[in-house]
Every structure is written in C-alpha cells, then in structure tokens.
Structure 1
C-alpha cells in the first residue's frame, strides 16, 4: 500500500489522468448511440430546440454510483460547448430505492437526445455492482477485499466501471458498518479508486505450474520481491495443507512477521486436502456448531461444507496453521465469493483475512438497466403515462 497520504493523492491524480471516458467526440457518440436517438436529433434540429429535463432511475434498489456517468457528461458538454444542469438527488454512496430518480438532467434536447444510450451504460451496472460490494463488505466487515474482476469484464470500460463501483460500495460499508472493505484491486489502471499506486497480487496458478512446486514458486517470488508481502497459492497440486505448512516452515521470519499469506482457490469439483463431507461437518461442529444447526438449502450447504473453498475448508486451514505455531500467517480466499456466499461465510464466522473476488459483478445483467425519461419540455411537466412518479415535486 502507499506509504503516505501524499502517495495516495498522487495515485488518484495519475489514475484519473490515465482514465479515458470514450466516446466524447460527436462522430463517436453518433456511431455508438441508438439510431432512433440520432434521427430524433435531426428532427429537433429541423423543427426547433427545447429545454428538457430527464429523470434517470433504476428499477431495483441500488447504491448510487454516478461518478463516471457524470464525468462523461461533463466531458461531452465541454467538447460541445454547452451547459448542463445535473441535479443529483442521491449522492455517491447513498442507498436508492427502486424507481427513485437518481438524478435530473436539464439542457438542450438537441444536445441531450443522442447521449441517453451512453449515459445509461455508465450508470446502471456501476450502481448494482456498488450495491453488491456494499452488502459483501458489510457482511464480512472484518475482512479486507481485493477486486479481482478485471478478467471477467467485457473490456476496459467495464473494468473501470466495476473498480469504481467496488470503491463506492466499500466506502458506504465503512461509513455504515465500520467495515474494512475493498483495499485494492488487481490492475494498475484502476488502482487509484482504492488510493493505491498500483494493482495488488502476488502469484497466479501459472507461476506455480512454471516453478514445478508450490514451494519453488514461493522461493522464486521471495528472491524477486524480497521486501514485499507474499501470498502463496496452495491448491495447485491438491495439497493445500501440506504445501501451506511447507512454505511456512521455509519462511519462518515471514510467517512470524505476518508477511506471509496462503490463498485457497480450490476448484469446486473436489474437497481440499484432508477434508470430505463428514470431516467438513466435524470442523464446523468444533468451531461454529450453530452454523450447521437447523435447515440449510443446497446452496448454503455447499458454501458451508461442500467441495471447493467452503467455510469448513477455511476453518481446516486455520486449525492446521495454528497447530504448528503459524497463527500470524493470513488466509486469503477466492472462488465465487458473491453476496450470498459472503453472507454464509459471515454466519460461519470464518477466520478469513482477505477475500479476492470479482463476483460483486451483477449476476443478472438485466437488473443493471438504467432508464431515462424526459419529464419536462420547456418547463412544462410531461411524461409518458405510467411514469408520472418521475415528475419533480
């Protein structure tokens, strides 16, 4: 992490300078907007402009994350030399109910009508992802999160939007619930949203495969980055417990100083080393018996005692590390940590230090659709029947 507030400020500045909210040129806006909006623009140019007000809203509850959408609007307005009035009804990080306008946007219809498509693209997904990030961070308030969504995003625009959303949701979780939240992400380009100078992460499975053993991968990393904290993937050879303890014994100073973590990313097709269904129940019975008492549906049982990175797997790793005196070694978990899984992990009081996740990305893309309707034409309230609730009171 950056060493000072000045470093964080510089990271944010450099990141914003790198960020490109394309498209802003008229020809590109025209190329990427819905054609009927382009035709409407031609009609308005022919028959006369009006001053209009758009209400922009979501059909489901979200956390307001309008920053990128507003910055894009401002850049386009600057390029076109026009004035826009943006009345933000719900500040960044505020909870927004279904159907409540997040903002009212007022200006020339001729200059706004072709912006609707691109505006909504930049608003809806960010608000849903911020909502998901908020719930996950709130449920696991004592756990740090890393945004590892970049590989799951459809291009760099989406990757920036999701990183921004994670930071907004995490900030709300900190304010409301004292959560640690997202402390960083996987790429340099969007690290500034988390006050970081660069992306975070140590080794992928590919490096373990290249090294030929988990221990050798750790040694290679240590020789290359001797002053950095190290997180070692321990599931490559299906020897999570054995390889984790082997690495800890090899690096006792790192282990004692808290500069060593083990990461569980076990595939959902198998249990981690030493576990099976009976022993999974047993480890939770020893540590959090109430987590497995009472009714659980199939999904909840999978998160608690199933294969892959379950609550039982995390408790098993913690027990194994502590038994050999490696209580300062941290546990990082990844693999499908979405809102539902985080909620179950919280109920199981898992001894996690860090979660690496891209699963705060919206699960149902149809939920991300933002909508805009014009509610005023030259100061006269008018909207299609059924959307009267959008008119400004």
Structure 2
C-alpha cells in the first residue's frame, strides 16, 4: 500500500458547490469572474509557488481542482513541476494550471489554502526524520489542527516528508494517531494505546496497563509513565508485571514528562551526569539555551531518555522500547541526534509549521490566450510557463 494513499473518499478533497466556493473565496476574485463572464472569457495559465524552500506536496490541491472541474463540467489542465517529496526552491513554480479564466478566477483562494501549508509541513517532517533516521515517527497532529481539512493536510504532509526521507534511508513517519488519515501511511487504522485520562481513571499506571492488555491482548502495550511523576518506578512496575511482553519487545514506556519538572530521580546535576556517562563530550560543546533545555532540562530531555534506558537495561529489560513525545520539532530532534538519545519512536505534531506567514502560497497568471504576460517582478515565472503557452499547450 502506498504511503500516500488517499485515506477517504470524502472530506476536504470533495468538490464544493459554486455557492460555497463563492462564499469562501475573496470578493475580488468573485468580481473578476463576473467581469470576465460579461466581457468575454480567455484561456489563461496560472503559476502557483511558495516564497520559501519546501517539499512538493501538491496532490490534495490537484485532486480538489479535478473534482471541481468535474462538478462544473469544465476542461482544464494542471502540470505539476516536481514529483511528491522533491525539493523545491523559494519561488519556483510548483504547478501550472491552464483553462478558462471565468472558470478558474474564483478558485484561487481555496487552491492556495491547499498548497502552502502541506509543502512547508512536509519539509519539516522530512528534516525531523533525517535528524533521527533510525527512529520511527508517529504523526499526532490532529489535536493541534483547526478542523479536519488542516488535519488531512498535515497528515498528508508527514507522509510526503517521510517519502523523501525514506528514499535517503530514514524510517520516517510510520503511522498516524487516527483512522481517518491512516491511509496516508499505508495503515488500516490509527496507532496509539492510552492517554493520561485512562491512567487517572484506573487510579494507577499499572492498573491502566492491566486494563489495556485485558481489552486488547493482541496489541503491543505502550504505557504512559509520567502521570504520577514516577516514570522510573511505574515503568519498571509495568515491566515486571508483563515479563513476557517485555522479553518479546512488545512493551514500551512512553515518556511525556511535563516541562515544569524533571524525570523521576533527575535534577540538573544528575542530568549532566547521565549525558556524560552515555555520550561523553556532547554537553561540553557550546550550546544555546534551547539546546541545553533539550539536552539536560526539564521535561523529555536527552538526559531523561538516557536515564530511562539505563534503568530498563539494569533491571533486565533491554528489549522494552522507549517512545517519546512533547514538543519534538526539528530543533529538538537535532538535539536528540547530537546526544545519540536511545529513542525508538517519536510521537509528534510539531512538524506543523511554527510561522504560518511562511506557508502562504501565491498564484499569478502568466499567459492570456497564449501570450506570456505577468506583473512586473514576477517575470521569473514566465520561463517555463511562457514556453508552453507559446507552443499552444
């Protein structure tokens, strides 16, 4: 199954009716459509691009465009200039769209919404996967998204970033946290075991693990260990209660320690010592404040991960995996790589772009009835589109 298979046959890629499109698009595009319809249509070519480097992640946009064209009964062509997952430089046209000006004028707003954010998020996902190439990632973007359309875009982006990273030997994102987007990762369903709320309900970490295993005995057991602030104590208690799962590599502890405190048993000095024992020299290089926090600070630091690995190995559980979450963006992944942190899986939604101003895609018409023409300053868009327009394509 393809890593970028469409997860559903409905949702954001579904065509909208003309009234809904008109209501959601910018007024001047609607008025342009009205004017062009009144004074005579022309065949135009649009160039769509993003102002910053990205990975090509265009399929959600082009699928939606095709669905709209089908619903409207219009003929158009789109030429994707880069395969999915390919590096695209700042300002390079990602897609050329050719067709009726009257039919395309009111689509620009929605097309751009579906282009920029996935391309930037795909690059973020790729960079994270390449920073930790031997680590599997789980896309947990849904809770951070403003509705399902954004959720679909971000999950798709993670799959595209992984597609690029896997071509270079990384493991990348292997699944998502819910069923609706699982198809992007070639999975039949979402991945995940328990939230903190289940541990609160159960009254203890061990009891929550027992409940989960009784309800889902065929599933691997991944247990959160930070609810009571006893990551080490509760993690070992679960391992001892399920020795067969631990020995078979079917048990994992998930570290999600709150950023306001250290992992159980650590403090600043002990965190430095944990890194010095396991990755000598890492902490001695110059560090920014953020790097230091990721390495030896509170929350899920590299020192915390190393300490958890130490206690698991010392207790006779070398096959118990460590899953980490909490703020794992590109920068934090790079810090973990530098510390050689023994991570098996990263759960993250932090591939979502931090600065949305960088996701803004732009469109310009670059030919009218085959004549190359674009506003001053955007002539760089004419090179390929102009040649094709002159050839009558």
Normalised TM-score (structure 1)? 0.96
Aligned residue runs from structure 1 range 189-338, under 5 A: 189-338=180-329
Secondary structure of the 1:157 match is helix
Matched with 1:364 is 355
Provide the rounded CA distance (Å) in 2 between the counterparts of 1:10 and 1:55: 28
Matched with 1:141 is 133
Provide the rounded CA distance (Å) in 2 between the counterparts of 1:56 and 1:20: 20
Query: Contact 2:4–2:185 (CA<8 Å) still a contact in 1?
Result: no
Change (3 A) 1:278 1:224: same
Matched with 2:152 is 160
CA shift, 1:290, in A, is: 2.4
Matched with 1:78 is 70
Alignment length, in residue pairs?
384
- Structure 1: 5+ residue stretches without partners: 1-7
Query: Contact 1:12–1:192 (CA<8 Å) still a contact in 2?
Result: yes
Q: Deviation digits for residues 288-334 of structure 1, max 9, x if unmatched?
A: 12211221010000000000000000000000000011000000000
Provide the rounded CA distance (Å) in 1 between the counterparts of 2:11 and 2:41: 33
CA shift, 1:374, in A, is: 0.5
CA shift, 1:85, in A, is: 1.3
CA shift, 1:148, in A, is: 0.4
Change (3 A) 1:150 1:349: same
CA RMSD between the two structures: 1.3
Q: Deviation digits for residues 168-196 of structure 1, max 9, x if unmatched?
A: 000100002x1111000011001000011
Matched with 1:49 is 41
Matching residue within 14, 18, 35 for 2:27: 35
Secondary structure of the 1:331 match is strand
Provide the rounded CA distance (Å) in 1 between the counterparts of 2:335 and 2:12: 38
Q: Deviation digits for residues 173-222 of structure 1, max 9, x if unmatched?
A: 0002x111100001100100001110000000000000000000000001
CA shift, 1:392, in A, is: 2.9
Query: Contact 1:12–1:196 (CA<8 Å) still a contact in 2?
Result: no
Change (3 A) 1:11 1:298: closer
Change (3 A) 1:11 1:55: closer
Secondary structure of the 2:115 match is helix
Secondary structure of the 2:374 match is coil
Q: Deviation digits for residues 24-76 of structure 1, max 9, x if unmatched?
A: 21111111111110000000001000000111000000000001000000000
Provide the rounded CA distance (Å) in 1 between the counterparts of 2:34 and 2:4: 43
Query: Contact 2:50–2:116 (CA<8 Å) still a contact in 1?
Result: yes
Matched with 2:163 is 171
Provide the rounded CA distance (Å) in 2 between the counterparts of 1:66 and 1:94: 11
CA shift, 1:121, in A, is: 0.4
Query: Contact 2:152–2:181 (CA<8 Å) still a contact in 1?
Result: yes
CA shift, 1:9, in A, is: 7.2
Query: Contact 1:55–1:101 (CA<8 Å) still a contact in 2?
Result: yes
Query: Contact 2:136–2:174 (CA<8 Å) still a contact in 1?
Result: yes
Matching residue within 95, 101, 114 for 1:109: 101
Matched with 1:5 is none
Change (3 A) 1:288 1:9: closer
Q: Deviation digits for residues 228-275 of structure 1, max 9, x if unmatched?
A: 001000000000000000000000000000110000000100001010
Matched with 2:143 is 151
Deviates more, 1:297-306 or 1:285-294: 285-294
Matched with 1:350 is 341
- Structure 2: 5+ residue stretches without partners: 385-393
